Amino acid sequence: MKIILISIAVATLLFLNSCNECPICEQENQCKVREATITIFNPRLEKINDSTWVPVPGYSIHSFLFPEDDISSGTLPNETPYLLNDKIQLAEQIYNDGTQDLNTILLGNYPTNERMVGDILLIDADTANQTVVIRVSGEIYRLPNNYMLDDANLFCKQYIPDNQTEIGEGYALLSQYGKGFTYAANEPFSIYDFKVFDMAGNEVAATPPAAVVNNLLMLVSGKTINLTVRKGKVFLYRARNGRTFVFAIANISQSTTAPYKKRITILFTAL
């Protein structure tokens, strides 16, 4: 009986030692892949009865927030400034037109990267070309190898272990909001995004000076970064909560019933 017990103990010890020396074995124990679906951001309101504003049918003002632990699959918080507005103030500057002080306000369709409540906001989705435009509030780096499958199990057991070197090297390449990458660009603004008000808060028909416009654009430059990426792209990401994740754009689709919302599905795992 003692011989049998000793044999079992030795075998167990050998197994544990072999697992400790095997990164893939550790990954199988620790890797927990989650899925999240994010619909396209649409804060537009429409007027009814000449006085009441209501959300359009495709209204959606949530983003995706990565979880703080491995129990949760993340949350979809609302970008609260858009609850009653389809545009929000991004920057302002007061100038004098020679007769009075006027306040120029730059309005945006999306929150700046730094003011986002969540980590990922879906700005646009092209289901035909399988490309999306997203905005992130954390640090991000696109890994060199794609993952084209919608299979959480293989993402965990195959992609993550096979790309450990690339993931490790990616930490030094993380960029705030994706600045500097070829697939990143500042949101374009037009003169219609600038509104002028007097000091009583009344909108006035005035065109702000070019210097004021340029200064407001400079204030938000680098804070309205959009990333245009394709299905299958995989990213290393340091979230708002400080945790690091690997996530893949697993699916780009559109609902088959009205209001036909476009959406993406991501696979992600914490590191």
pLDDT for 247 equals 98
- Calculate Rg over the CA atoms of the chain: 24
pLDDT surpasses 60 at 253? yes
Tokens of 81: 């400034």
Rounded to the nearest integer, the mean pLDDT of the chain is 88
Confidence of residue 27 (pLDDT cuts 50, 70, 90): very low
pLDDT for 11 equals 43
pLDDT surpasses 50 at 85? yes
DSSP for 150-167 reads: --HHHIIIIIHHHTHHHH
**Percentage of residues in the chain with pLDDT exceeding 70?**
89
pTM given for the model: 0.84
Cβ within 8 Å of residue 243, ≥6 positions away: 66, 67, 68, 270
Helix and strand element counts for the chain (H, E)? 6, 15
pLDDT surpasses 60 at 45? yes
Q: 137-184: per-residue pLDDT in tens? A: 999 999 999 999 989 999 999 999 999 999 999 999 999 999 999 999
pLDDT surpasses 50 at 24? no
pLDDT surpasses 60 at 233? yes
Q: Maximum CA pair distance of the chain?
A: 101
* 109: region left, alpha or beta (phi > 0 left; psi from -120 to 50 alpha): alpha
**What average pLDDT score do residues 38-46 get?**
93
**What average pLDDT score do residues 98-110 get?**
95
Between 23 and 219, the more confident residue is 219
Tokens of 257: 């019933």
Cβ within 8 Å of residue 242, ≥6 positions away: none
Between 245 and 45, the more confident residue is 245
132 half-sphere exposure, CB direction, 13 A CA radius:
28
DSSP tag of 229 = E
pLDDT for 51 equals 76
Q: 3-state class of 188 per DSSP?
A: coil
Q: 46-70: per-residue pLDDT in tens? A: 888 877 888 899 999 999 999 999 9
Q: 201-225: per-residue pLDDT in tens? A: 999 999 999 999 999 999 999 999 9
pLDDT surpasses 70 at 80? yes
pLDDT for 30 equals 64
**Percentage of residues in the chain with pLDDT exceeding 90?**
78
DSSP tag of 62 = B
pLDDT for 22 equals 33
Burial of 226 (0-12, 13-18, 19+ CB in 10 A): buried
Cβ within 8 Å of residue 182, ≥6 positions away: none
Cβ within 8 Å of residue 235, ≥6 positions away: 140, 141, 142, 143, 246, 247, 248
